[in-house]
Chains A and B, each alone.
Chain A
Amino acid sequence: MNLSLEPRTDAPRWFAGAMTLAALAFALLVSGLIIWLVGGDPVRSFTHILVAAFGSVGVISDTLVKATPLILTGLACALAFRMRLWNIGAEGQFLLGAWGASAVLLAPILPAGTPAIVVIPVMMVAGALAGGLWGFIPGILRARLGVNEIIVTLMLNYVALAWVQYWVFGPWSNGGFQETVAFPPEAWLPRLTDFSASFPILGGLTTHLGLIFGVVAATIMWVALKRTRWGYELRLIGDSPAAARYAGIDIKRKIVVVFVISGALAGLGGMSEVGGVVHKLQDHISPGYGFTAIIIAYLARFGPFRVIVASILFGALILAGREIQPSGVPAMIQGIVLFSLIGSDVLVRYRVRFVRRLVTA
């Protein structure tokens, strides 16, 4: 028997989407099997995830809080991946963004008592700049010297973590603890619960302004990709760099720009996390958002709005997953999901046939 893959020419538009859903279902099945094998109860685990993530307005709000950093880092990855730039460094760019935003208050760049209307935009800019700088390094190395961006972005993740650790253990340490002092309320991103005085129904809901950042960023990205010359160039480079060069596009410059924007998006994610959720800087602000973002970008097939949907799914998994035992299950599910997606991709691109080896006499 031989496995033969023939390119598909006639796949309808819905086919890719259907295969993605099938891949998700398959991944859940395999994950359930593994949970069962290690002595867990898959049905209860999955029901638990559903209830814990979507069971009430309160937990839905919590799910959206978890989804917010995923949306921004997911967009960061999706943008870079579109150009086949493997930015595996969203995690580090996220951390640097959080650090940059914190520096506004802790360095301090703005004096204490500056109103929120000034503090928050400055924090956004600082976070995006710091993240963008962290994206600029692999970008310029790749564009100028042809250095493999995967290794560089990965290594920079470790460097970013050590950098943040230096500040939270050292200069910004709050009395020797591994965290900074809490930010003043002016630096907190507005949350739904902040409006509970006028709308009591919002009481206790922690969804914050960062979600709006994510939605706005996704919208801008969608327009840029679909409707602008810049997006056309990006598609061209992503499909065939040689053809893009032939068409007169400055690819090197584009690599740097895309890497900086990608880093800035992830950095904004870090800013939104410290400003909207943690309200201080500590070294464990990310349970691997930047890595999950890779899977989200893939699950979304690099589509900005689909990134939002995928982020909510994974936000739910992370939120509910905290209580699932064994604790590695969510990470494992992520790996299985990614493999199922890769497998489904093959089915989208090719018609798979099993051919018996032909023997003619």
Chain B
Amino acid sequence: MDLATILAAGVATGTVLLFAAIGEIFAERSGVLNLGVEGMMLIGAVAGFSIALSTGNPWLGLVVAMLAGGLLSLIHGVMTIHLRADQVVSGLALTFLGTGLARVLGQGLSSAGQVATLPNLTIPVLTGIPFLGPVFFTDQSVLAYVGYLLVPVAWLWIVRTRPGLHLRAVGEAPAAADAQGIGVYRTRYAYVFVGGLLAGLAGAALTIAISPGWFGDQTVNGRGWIAIGLVIFARWSPIRAAFGALLFGAIFRFIIDIQGLVLIWGFANPFSAGRSTTFFLEMLPYLMVILVVIVGSREAARKRLGAPAALGRPYVRGDRGA
């Protein structure tokens, strides 16, 4: 159990969280809170897995998974954008629906056997960099590299491009954006859909790349909710989300690794595998999320760099005639 191994595994596990968190950042930046991440990830996970299984082509599975997550997210879009339903309730409903659908579709998949997975890559030169090489560039899933690209792209998109400017305007002051001719509804649908695509990707990243297999609704096991917590921790910035994802990925790995030790600092390991105390370790990531949300909301309150101003609120154009 050394730091580089844990961090390298953290990158792998964190990639899943990263996709889901960045997707949610996009949706929330447009003003739509989508609590259905867990459900969308499950749909992506089952779609990706079953397509990869039946066609033998994991890439096709990946595409279908993203579309499945995206389609599911559009239900939330219609409910909250056009029909002005409460975003909290609609998001919860989406998680129920996604979980149920995934279970229906995943019937019998848990005993399906080996699935074709996406390849792992080692980047020739970069792998030689001390510490960073083994952590980031050695035998990582191709999706981890996609993640490395996604972070700066998402950040630049939001703060340095015209569509990103419009996204921020819609999430902060939809009425002002509308007055300038920016389609508020169109923008929100687009980014809710992007959120769904990325959640679907996150789900597929689990089942056909990072920890292959389908384990019923235990497959995602709360990662969708952790991703939502990460968004608050990251204060809606893709870059901070990357650090958070890495941290949580590392914690997940650490929990497994520490169980393998016999001694810690010369004492008997209280958490060695097979002991019931390992359940305390399992609490760790969830307690961490709570801690992170507490710290996050305090800082957000103090620095006023909190949520997009219109987050959670449906937009209704003023009493516009005709």
What residues of chain A have their CB less than 8 Å away from a CB belonging to chain B?
3, 5, 34, 38, 86, 88, 141, 145-148, 150-152, 154-156, 158-159, 162-163, 165-167, 169-171, 173, 291, 294-295, 298, 325-336, 338-339, 342-343, 345-346, 350, 357-358
Contact = CB atoms under 8 A, between A and B. Distances in A.
Given A151-B228, A326-B107, A338 B102 contact: no
A336 B222 CA distance: 21
Contacts of B282: 158, 162, 165
Given A162-B282, A298-B89, A333 B276 contact: no
Interface residues of B, number: 51
Given A152-B293, A332-B101, 5 more contacts: A151-B229, A335-B93, A335-B94, A335-B98, A342-B85
B160 interface: no
Contacts of A158: 222, 282-283, 286
Given A88-B92, A329-B100, A343-B83, A150 B276 contact: no
A334 B99 CA distance: 10
B83 A346 contact: yes
A173 B274 CA distance: 14
A3 B100 CA distance: 30
User: Interface on chain B toward A: helix, strand, loop, or mixed SS?
Assistant: helix
A163 B284 CA distance: 12
Q: Select the residue from A141, A156, A166, A346 with max chain B CB neighbours within 10 A.
A: A166
Given A147-B297, A152-B293, A338 B93 contact: yes
Contacts of B276: 165-167, 169-171, 173
Contact of A291 (B96, B290, B322): B96
Interface string B304-318: 000000000000100
Contacts of B301: 146
B85 A346 contact: yes
Given A332-B97, A335-B101, A342-B85, A155 B289 contact: yes
B103 A332 contact: yes
A148 B231 CA distance: 12
The 6 closest A-B pairs by CB, nearest first: A328-B103, A332-B100, A170-B276, A335-B97, A331-B100, A335-B96
User: Interface on chain A toward B: helix, strand, loop, or mixed SS?
Assistant: helix
A336 to B, nearest CB: 6
A145 B103 CA distance: 38
A302 B310 CA distance: 27
Contact of B96 (A34, A146, A295): A295
Contacts of B84: 5, 346, 350
B294 A147 contact: yes
14 contacts: A38-B104, A151-B232, A151-B289, A152-B293, A155-B225, A155-B290, A166-B276, A325-B107, A328-B101, A328-B107, A329-B104, A330-B100, A332-B96, A342-B93
B100 A328 contact: yes
A165 B277 CA distance: 10
Interface of B: 35, 39, 75, 79, 82-86, 88-90, 92-107, 222, 225, 228-229, 232, 275-277, 279-280, 282-283, 286-287, 289-290, 293-294, 297-298, 301, 316, 322
A325 B108 CA distance: 11
A159 B282 CA distance: 8
Contacts of B83: 5, 342-343, 346
Nearest to A332: B100
Contacts of A151: 225, 228-229, 232, 289-290, 293
Given A151-B229, A151-B290, A159 B96 contact: no
Given A158-B222, A162-B282, A148 B92 contact: no
A105 B228 CA distance: 39
Given A150-B35, A346-B83, A34 B89 contact: no
A295 B88 CA distance: 13
Given A152-B290, A326-B103, A336 B97 contact: yes
A32 to B, nearest CB: 13
Contact of B89 (A5, A166, A342): A342
